[in-house]
Structure 1
Amino acid sequence: MDRASVLEAVGLDFDHDIELVLAFLNTCDAEKGTEALGDHADWQRWCTERGLVVVPEVEAAREMRDTMRSAVSCGMRPAGFANTTWPVQVQLRNGVPSLVGVDALGSVLVAAARLVHTEHWDRIKICPAEDCLWAFYDRSRNRSRTWCSMRVCGNREKARSWRERHTTA
């Protein structure tokens, strides 16, 4: 049994990890021009909506988010938090130890680490549309998805490309 199967067997919810990491990565929205980590009140609201313990360091959260988004954009594993020290707890689930974040940022880091460890991290991508840049999870079989939404961003890019080809010809 591989390590992902073992972790799934003890009840770790990868969908929850994926949703949490994506929500964290998408705390900045290029299309709407919003920043959910603008100040401590915004950060507190984001944490409360997800039932997470608020950590006062909104700057640390913003820095970690930007580091993680850079790693995703470059197609790399998030080496930026390899040297990060953040409090976590070890819990036993069905006799298997698992890490649990003690606060919001710790929870995000633990979720991201589990995604890296189980090879789900490589499916997290950033939409290349300059006016979007939304983080999404590629559920395609061959991991070839490019756009967050083919109907919106993909269609806009195809239309833009078609116009460029036909107006210069």
Structure 2
Amino acid sequence: MNGRAAAPGGLALVESLVNTLDVESGTDTLDTPTGRAPFGLTGDGLAAARELREALRAACLAHAGHPPPPGAPTPADLDRLLTGAPLRLAVAADGTAALTAVTPGTLLARVAEAIAAAAADGTWPRLKACEAETCRWAYYDRSPAARRRWCSMSVCGARAKMRTYRARRA
């Protein structure tokens, strides 16, 4: 939607999963086999993937300082979901260590690994969701102060600023 580069590392997976739903139009790319393919999903795992997606969106909203809409999942729901993807500390031959999924390959395990790595390197809080209620697109905040509010200043940011301007003029 915003034409920016994808989030770094494993956060690109999380960002792309959250962005499978276009909130404004209601289009969900998980409805198609082509849209499910990057996540290794079949029809059987669709409900769980959607639940995970919305819990991830809630965490991204929290990173941006926005509460989830009433009745929507919360970051606590993401915490609950991630308990189903246990991680272990794996030490490589060179002595480096990383958290890896006990049952690799599933979408939940891939997301858990991505979040663990991003939390370790400090990039997890920079994955945010757009402030615009009609958007909620996930984006990676590359701004120096990490204070972006919208996925795109030219679209969602401009709309918000125009609404504020019009409200002051009225």
TM-score by length of structure 2 reads: 0.72
1:46 is the counterpart of 2:35: yes
TM-score by length of structure 1 reads: 0.72
1:158 is the counterpart of 2:145: no
Equivalent runs, 1:21-32 vs 2, <5 Å: 21-32=14-25
Match of 2:138 among 131, 135, 139: 135
Unaligned runs of 5+ in 2: 1-6, 64-74
Q: Which has the higher contact order (CA 8 A, sep 6+)?
A: 2
Residue type matched to 2:138 in 1? A
Give the Cα–Cα distance (whole angstroms) in 1 for the partners of residues 61 and 93 of structure 2. Answer: 34
Q: 1:20 to 1:94 in 2, by over 3 A?
A: farther
Give the Cα–Cα distance (whole angstroms) in 2 for the partners of residues 111 and 28 of structure 1. Answer: 20
Q: What do residues 57-98 of structure 1 show as CA deviations (whole Å, max 9, x unaligned)?
A: 111111111111112212369534442236999684755344
1:85 is the counterpart of 2:72: no
Give the Cα–Cα distance (whole angstroms) in 1 for the partners of residues 111 and 135 of structure 2. Answer: 22
Shift, 1:124, TM fit: 0.9
Give the Cα–Cα distance (whole angstroms) in 2 for the partners of residues 120 and 81 of structure 1. Answer: 21
Q: What is the aligned length?
A: 148
1:18 is the counterpart of 2:11: yes
1:124 is the counterpart of 2:127: yes
CA contact (8 A) 2:61 2:129 kept: yes
Shift, 1:53, TM fit: 3.7
Equivalent runs, 1:87-106 vs 2, <5 Å: 92=92, 94-98=94-98, 99=100, 101-106=104-109
Equivalent runs, 1:38-77 vs 2, <5 Å: 38=31, 42=32, 44-48=33-37, 50=38, 52-54=39-41, 56-75=44-63
CA contact (8 A) 1:30 1:132 kept: yes
Unaligned runs of 5+ in 1: 1-13
CA RMSD of aligned residues (A): 2.8
Q: What do residues 82-117 of structure 1 show as CA deviations (whole Å, max 9, x unaligned)?
A: 422369996847553442631333222211221122
Q: 1:141 to 1:62 in 2, by over 3 A?
A: same
CA contact (8 A) 1:134 1:148 kept: yes
SS in structure 2 at match of 1:125:
strand
CA contact (8 A) 1:87 1:102 kept: no
